[in-house]
């Protein structure tokens, strides 16, 4: 009787007192909630051309909680046999997942099974509880190499991302955008998951569905980018980049900030990097010194050279340092006495002895001496004979134009670039053994004024400088996406034009700059970019880098060209960057071909539209 | 052998009814537990657990009546032969038996697996009863006590080596209970128990296999391997706990029907009861065992001779202890042992042995009067 009393007490304890707890455990044994993701959103260009497809693949998976102990070794051996994944690895992964707090989510052993593998696994499935062949969806990028930096790619969630995103409903097997718009518009492209609640038996086999909530369809992206233009520019840039390791070109709508094309060369095929990753292609991509995976239009910084004179010029006009009548004579160079050692004289060269120049001609001919004066002033025997802007004012205007900070473009990995000033230099070189290294000199201001020295920018920053001049001072946030749309093309969320801020420079002064850039494209070095289809306004830039040669020039230079068109009623701004090249000689002709193609195509479309 | 008066009125219907009620309850649970694997039973399908259990119960009932009719004292005559045969069978199993879940407990005879350890328990009860009843007063000598210990210890050691720790414990308990009833001195009994207690730690280190140690470790902490060996322990407790007071209803238990329970018609049949019939069902089961034990003890008390009293005592201990151990395992109070729930768990050897035991109890009752005036007939 005593024995039965003990049993009754224990029974009463677990059946009556702890009933709720065991009831909950029985329920969680029995029911599983499986998230159901909508198909990932598609991506279209601005004209409706489809750029991405979702493709089904088959994956070998195992639910760790469902592998029966006595079949553990068989399960591991069979999985290893079919997939070729080492059994040790599979066994360790299953053990680890079992000890985790989520042993019910399928563990992917191998994705992208071929038909034979999938067939073999399906045959064995019946005897191996927990083993499944899953249908997963992967991305196929239709444009191949030309739009990889824009579209990006998706990949499996990694441990860090999972830790961060699991609260938002991400599962351990989910894929998510890792680069490009796949990354920046992840939330829209993913949509929101629904779920199925199912009853399962001890082997994890579904008995019946208890409930389901359909996922909400994901949003599709309508890009601002024009795929046709993108392809054409990639071709033009490829042909014109010469010895450059890399090159970039950006076309932006000057009124909306929409990016019609953004090309970075060399590029890569994002089909190699999207999950499942093409492991054979990976080492070459990672080791290539030209860095094909980097979007050079947004992620890399270089000194802008004379294209920066757009900023120096408008700043000088606005601050009253210069007017259209300000004349300066370039003898080919100016001499600067060293501030600390009067015996040393620095010679700052112009690219040619350009004679006496007014503001228009100074900019159009891209006289360095003219802009040395505007930025740093001019001193004779220690006496100021021409008052310049000074580094602080120049830096302040540069920041107004959006330099030194990300533009906020909807692509990841954007670089800020650098706007130098005396404080920056003091901070940066404070630990230098030579104390004078940290001191800002007049030479630094001169270099800054012509876009050399410590100043660095990205092509996307520069294109919106030109656009701001063209549109009357609006510094726009660039966008590669036009809108998030539903499957019928209805706009779910429009990416509205966004003015980051309005320049403090008057439209009159911006108008002087526009006229000067127009003249540059007519008779200055920038005429190499003049289009037969449209009137343009432009500025070249050639920023020296590498070793200084005996004659005072440098081994290499970056070639820049930044322009807008039509001059009368600006629509687009174009910036071209060549890692090696000269602005007028190499970058200009590329811009010309871009303008030719764009406006020729526009004219053709209009003629077709009005028969 | 003296002629005895056999009175049919002395047949105890309550004893047999309690046993049959337990079998009926067990068959219902086996039906529910086998549904997911076997589906509805068909009379022609002898491999179906319900049909098998029904068949063995019918055979058992016939045997019970046959043993009731036979004079139990005849068993005393056969006891030496039966004992030797049982020990031989246990040794045979150990050498050539079929292994399930890591231990050798079965031999195949004509396609039917037989578990000799169940029958051996009955035989040891008979052998001990015979040995003690032949030496009534000599039980107080060490020689007789230790010889009786050997009678129980040899089969206990053989089942322990299978390994079947649970059955070995049952042998020990049967011996202990019968020694007490046979009139051994308490000082002797405590001396044996004392030395056994001292031996336990050495025994656990030296003789217990890793397999058994793992079972004990798992019992202490089933969470250490929730998908493997700890699975049954955890799932059994979840099943019983989720049943609550009234249970989920026969064939309505998710744990049972979705196969979270394993060996749900044998060792874990009590978990099916706990889940589907709840605390109420468990009390009903206990009530039936209480009736069975009460009527068994009554038989021991009424028995005319020491032999019958000892057999009845041994049988009661056997049934009570197996029931206790099985339920205790199911509710997580003891480590997993593989002891069936008497009359309830699926299993021919156990069921037939138990019915024979009932038959012997009835035989004892039928023959407990020396004189009678009513209707009678002579036996033997």
- Tell me which of B6-10, B116-120, B209-213 is least confident: B209-213
Cβ pair A22:B278 closer than 8 A: no
Task: Supply the pLDDT for residue A222.
Answer: 96
Starting at the edge strand that comes first in sequence, how are the strands of the sheet with B103-109 ordered?
A: B98-100, B103-109, B112-114
Of the two residues A309 and A195, the one the predictor is more confident about is A309
Q: Does residue B262 surpass a pLDDT of 80?
A: no
Identity of the residue in B36, B227, B244 whose CB atom sits nearest the CB atom of A19? B244
* C-alpha–C-alpha distance, residues A477 and A487, integer Å: 27
Give me the pLDDT at residue B380, please. Answer: 37
CA distance A45 to chain B (A): 51
- A378-380 vs A383-386, strand pairing mode: antiparallel
User: Contacts of residue B333 in chain A, CB cutoff 8 Å?
Assistant: 6-7, 10
A14·B237 Cβ contact <8 A: yes
* Chain mean position to CA A127: 49
Q: Which residues contact B293 (CB under 8 A, 6 or more apart)?
A: B316, B319, B320
Q: Is the Cβ pair B242, A22 closer than 8 Å?
A: yes
> Given pLDDT bands bounded at 50, 70 and 90, which one contains residue B374?
very low
Q: Taking residues B22-32, what's their average pLDDT?
A: 95
Contact check, Cβ <8 Å, B286/A3: no
pLDDT of residue B372: 47
* pLDDT at B4 exceeding the cut of 70: no
Contact A10 B333 (CB under 8 A): yes
Q: Which of A6, A22, A104 to mutate to test the interface with B (most CBs of B within 10 A)?
A: A22
Are the C-beta atoms of residues B34 and B40 closer than 8 Å to each other? Answer: no
Tell me the nearest-neighbour CA distance from A100 into chain B, angstroms: 12
By the CB < 8 Å criterion, does B235 face chain A?
A: yes
Q: Are A575 and A562 in contact (CB under 8 A)?
A: yes
Please write the tens of the pLDDT for every residue from B344-365.
Answer: 999 889 999 999 999 999 999 9
User: For residue B258, what is the nearest residue in chain A, using CA coordinates?
Assistant: A201
Asked if residues B367 and B304 have their Cβ atoms less than 8 Å apart, the reply is yes
Tens-digit pLDDT profile for residues B113-128 = 788 889 999 999 999 9
Task: Give the residue with greater pLDDT, A191 vs A567.
Answer: A567
Distance from CA of A102 to the nearest CA of B (A): 13
Strand A333-337 and strand A247-253: the pairing is: unpaired
Preferred mutation among A11, A19, A30 to probe B, highest tally of B CBs within 10 A: A11
Does the structure show a pLDDT above 90 at B314?
yes
Average pLDDT, chain A: 91
Q: Residue B166: its pLDDT value, please?
A: 86
What was the pLDDT predicted at B371?
52
Highest mean pLDDT among A220-234, B148-162, B242-256: A220-234
Count of Cβ atoms closer than 10 Å to residue B310 Cβ: 25
Pick B324's closest partner by Cβ from A7, A18, A67: A7
Torsion sign, CA atoms A500, A506, A509, A511: positive
- Asked whether the predicted pLDDT for residue A127 surpasses 60, the reply is yes
Among all residues of chain A, which has the CA nearest to that of B321?
A: A3
How many residues are present in chain B? 380
Please give the pLDDT value at position B42: 83
Say yes or no to pLDDT of A119 above 60. Answer: yes
Residues A29-48 pLDDT 10s = 788 877 888 889 999 999 99
Residue A586 three-state SS: helix
| Cβ-defined contact of B279 to A98 (cutoff 8 Å) | no
Whether the per-residue pLDDT at B339 is higher than 60: the answer is: yes
Closest-CA residue in chain B for A104? B227
* Confidence bin at A1 (pLDDT 50/70/90): low
CA dihedral (A353, A354, A355, A359) positive or negative: negative
Distance from the Cα of A402 to chain B's closest Cα (Å) equals 60
CB distance A16–B238 less than 8 Å?
A: no
DSSP letter string over A456-494? Answer: BB-HHHHHHHHHHHHHTSEEEPPBSEEEEE-TT--EEEE
Query: What's the pLDDT at A67?
Result: 83
Give pLDDT, residue B1: 44
Residue A566: asked if its preceding bond is cis (omega within 30°), the reply is: yes
Closest Cα to residue A190, out of A42, A410, A33, A412? A42
- In this structure, the strands spanning A43-44 and A220-223 are parallel
What does the pLDDT read at residue A473?
96
- CB contact at 8 A, B167 and B155: no
Q: In Å, how far are A35, A191, A257, A479 from A409, measured between CA atoms? A: 33, 22, 9, 5
B43-62 burial, b at 16+ Cβ within 10 Å, e below that, comes to eeeeebbbbbbbebbeebbe
Size of interface A-B (CB pairs under 8 A): 107
Q: Would you state the pLDDT for residue A515?
A: 97
DSSP code of residue A318: H
Which residues of chain A lie closer than 8 angstroms to B243, CB-CB?
15, 19
Lookup result for tokens 């060209």:
A561
Helices (H), A50-158: 72-83, 87-99, 115-125, 148-151
The burial class, CB within 10 Å (0-12 / 13-18 / 19+), for B219 is: middle
CA distance A94 to chain B (A): 12
> Which chain B residue's Cα is nearest to A24?
B242
Q: Report the range of poorest mean pLDDT among B11-25, B188-202, B225-239, B250-264.
A: B225-239
The pLDDT confidence band at residue B375, using thresholds 50, 70 and 90, is very low
At B35-52, the pLDDT tens digits run 888 888 887 788 889 999
Burial of A547 (0-12, 13-18, 19+ CB in 10 A): exposed
Q: Which residue has the tokens 């100074």?
A: A362
Lowest mean per-residue pLDDT among A73-77, B57-61, B226-230, B312-316: B226-230
Length in residues, chain A = 611
For residues A175 and A178, give the distance between their C-alpha atoms in angstroms, rounded to a whole number: 9
Question: Do B367 and B9 touch, CB atoms closer than 8 A?
Answer: no
pLDDT at B376: 47
Q: Average pLDDT, stretch A564-578?
A: 97
pLDDT tens sequence across A402-413? 999 999 999 999
Q: Do B324 and A4 count as a contact with CB atoms less than 8 A apart?
A: yes
If interface means Cβ-Cβ distance under 8 Å, which residues of chain A face chain B?
1, 3-4, 6-8, 10-12, 14-16, 18-19, 21-23, 25-27, 29-30, 65, 67-69, 72, 98, 103, 199-203, 207
pLDDT for A380 equals 84
Sheet holding A52-62, edge to edge: A107-110, A52-62, A131-141
Sorted by sequence, the CB contacts under 8 Å of residue A538 that are 6+ apart come out as A517, A520, A521, A526, A529, A530, A561, A562, A563, A564, A588, A591
Q: What angle (nearest 5°) sits at the alpha carbon of residue A511, between those of residues A455 and A598?
A: 80
Peptide bond into A298 cis (omega under 30): no
Average pLDDT over residues A453-477: 97
Higher pLDDT: B351 or A12? It is B351
Residue A482 pairs in a beta bridge with none
Q: Are A273 and A285 in contact (CB under 8 A)?
A: yes
Residue A18: how many other CB atoms lie within 10 Å? 15
Interface check B260 vs A, CB under 8 A: yes
Measured in angstroms, the CA of B28 and the nearest CA of chain A are apart by: 21
Q: What is the pLDDT of residues B296-312, one digit of tens each?
A: 999 999 998 999 999 99
0.90 exceeded by the pTM?
A: no
Minimal C-alpha gap between B225 and chain A (Å): 9
pLDDT at B101: 55
Please judge whether B258 and A200 are an interchain contact, meaning their C-beta atoms are less than 8 angstroms apart: yes
pLDDT digits (tens, 9 = 90+) for A467-504: 999 999 999 999 999 999 998 889 999 999 999 999 99
B36, B238, B258: residue with CB nearest A22: B238
Which residues face A253 on adjacent strands? A572
Tokens of A106: 């399928």
């Amino acid at each position: 009787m005593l024995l039965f009393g003990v049993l009754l007490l224990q029974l009463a304890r677990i059946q009556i007192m702890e009933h709720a707890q065991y009831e909950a455990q029985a329920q969680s044994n029995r029911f599983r909630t499986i998230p159901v993701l909508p198909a990932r959103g598609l991506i279209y260009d601005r004209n409706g051309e489809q750029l991405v497809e979702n493709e089904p693949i088959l994956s070998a998976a195992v639910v760790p909680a469902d592998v029966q102990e006595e079949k553990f070794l068989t399960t591991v051996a069979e999985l290893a046999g079919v997939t070729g994944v080492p059994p040790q690895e599979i066994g360790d992964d299953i053990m680890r997942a079992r000890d985790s707090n989520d042993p019910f989510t399928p563990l992917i052993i191998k994705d992208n099974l071929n038909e034979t593998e999938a067939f073999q696994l399906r045959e064995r499935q019946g005897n191996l509880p927990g083993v499944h062949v899953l249908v997963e969806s992967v991305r196929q990028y239709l444009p191949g190499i030309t739009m990889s930096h824009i579209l990006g790619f998706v990949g499996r969630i990694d441990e860090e991302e999972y830790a961060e995103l699991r609260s938002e409903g991400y599962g351990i097997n989910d894929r998510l955008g890792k680069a490009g718009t796949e990354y920046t518009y992840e939330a829209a492209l993913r949509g929101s998951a629904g779920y199925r609640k199912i009853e399962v038996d001890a082997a994890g086999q579904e008995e019946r569905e208890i409930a389901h909530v359909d996922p909400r369809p994901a949003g599709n992206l309508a890009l601002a980018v024009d795929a046709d233009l993108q392809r054409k520019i990639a071709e033009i840039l490829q042909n014109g980049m010469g010895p450059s390791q890399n090159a970039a070109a950006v076309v932006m709508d000057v009124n909306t900030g929409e990016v019609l094309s953004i090309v970075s060369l060399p590029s890569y095929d994002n089909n190699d990097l999207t999950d499942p990753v093409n492991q054979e292609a990976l080492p070459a991509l990672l080791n290539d010194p030209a860095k094909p995976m980097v979007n050079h239009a947004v992620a890399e910084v270089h000194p802008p050279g004379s294209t920066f004179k757009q900023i120096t010029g408008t700043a000088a006009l606005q601050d009253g340092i210069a007017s259209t009548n300000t004349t300066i004579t370039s003898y080919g160079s100016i001499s600067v006495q060293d501030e600390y050692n009067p015996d040393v004289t620095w010679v700052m060269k112009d690219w040619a002895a350009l004679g006496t120049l007014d503001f228009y001609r100074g900019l159009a001919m891209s006289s360095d001496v003219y802009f040395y004066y505007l930025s740093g002033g001019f001193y004779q025997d220690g006496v100021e004979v021409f008052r310049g802007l000074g580094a602080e004012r120049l830096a302040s205007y540069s920041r107004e134009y959006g330099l030194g900070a990300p533009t906020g473009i909807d692509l990841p990995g954007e670089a800020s670039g650098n706007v130098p000033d005396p404080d920056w230099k003091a901070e940066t070189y404070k630990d230098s053994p030579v104390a004078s290294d940290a001191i800002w000199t007049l030479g630094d201001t001169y270099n800054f004024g012509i876009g050399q020295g410590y100043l660095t920018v990205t092509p996307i920053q520069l294109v919106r400088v030109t656009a701001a001049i063209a549109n009357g001072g609006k510094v726009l946030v660039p966008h590669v996406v036009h809108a998030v749309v539903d499957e019928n093309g209805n706009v779910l969320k429009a990416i509205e034009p966004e003015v980051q801020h309005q320049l403090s420079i008057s439209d009159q002064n911006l108008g002087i700059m526009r006229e000067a850039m127009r003249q540059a494209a007519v008779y200055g070095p920038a005429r190499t970019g003049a289009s037969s289809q449209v009137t343009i306004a432009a500025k070249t830039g050639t920023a020296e880098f590498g070793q200084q040669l005996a004659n005072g020039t440098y081994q290499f230079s970056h070639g820049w060209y930044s322009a807008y068109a039509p001059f009368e009623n600006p629509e687009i701004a174009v910036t071209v960057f060549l890692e090696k090249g000269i602005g007028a000689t190499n970058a200009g002709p590329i811009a010309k071909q871009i303008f030719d193609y764009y406006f020729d195509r526009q004219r053709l479309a209009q003629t077709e539209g009005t028969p | 052998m003296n002629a005895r008066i056999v009175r049919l009125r002395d047949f105890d219907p309550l004893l047999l009814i309690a046993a049959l009620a337990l079998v009926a309850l067990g068959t219902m649970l086996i039906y529910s537990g086998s549904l997911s694997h076997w589906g509805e039973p068909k009379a022609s399908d002898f491999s179906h657990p319900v049909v098998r259990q029904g068949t063995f119960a019918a055979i058992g009932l016939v045997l019970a009546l046959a043993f009731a009719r036979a004079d139990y004292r005849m068993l005393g005559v056969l006891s030496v032969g039966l004992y030797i045969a049982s020990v031989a069978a246990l040794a045979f199993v150990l050498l050539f038996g079929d292994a399930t879940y890591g231990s050798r407990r079965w031999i195949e005879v004509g396609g039917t697996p037989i578990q000799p350890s169940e029958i051996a328990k009955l035989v040891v009860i008979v052998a001990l009863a015979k040995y003690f009843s032949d030496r009534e007063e000599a039980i107080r000598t060490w020689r007789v006590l230790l010889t009786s210990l050997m009678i129980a210890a040899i089969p206990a050691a053989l089942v322990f080596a299978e390994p079947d720790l649970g059955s070995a414990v049952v042998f020990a308990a049967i011996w202990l209970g019968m020694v007490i009833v046979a009139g051994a001195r308490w000082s002797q009994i405590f001396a044996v128990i004392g030395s056994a207690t001292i031996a336990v730690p050495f025994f656990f280190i030296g003789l217990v296999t890793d397999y058994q140690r793992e079972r004990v470790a798992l019992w202490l902490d089933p969470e250490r391997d929730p998908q493997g060996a700890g699975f049954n322990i955890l799932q059994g407790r979840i099943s019983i706990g989720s049943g609550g007071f009234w249970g989920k209803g026969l064939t309505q238990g998710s744990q049972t029907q979705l196969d979270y329970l394993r060996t749900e018609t044998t060792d874990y049949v009590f978990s099916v009861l706990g889940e589907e019939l709840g605390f109420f069902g468990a009390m009903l089961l206990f009530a039936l065992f209480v009736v069975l034990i009460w009527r068994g003890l009554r038989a021991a008390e009424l028995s005319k001779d020491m032999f019958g009293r000892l057999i009845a005592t041994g049988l009661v201990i056997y049934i009570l202890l197996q029931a206790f151990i099985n339920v205790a395992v199911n509710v997580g109070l003891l480590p997993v042992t593989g002891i069936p729930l008497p009359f309830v768990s699926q299993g021919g050897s156990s069921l037939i042995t138990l019915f024979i035991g009932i038959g012997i109890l009835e035989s004892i009752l039928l023959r407990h009067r020396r004189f009678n005036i009513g209707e009678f007939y002579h036996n033997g």
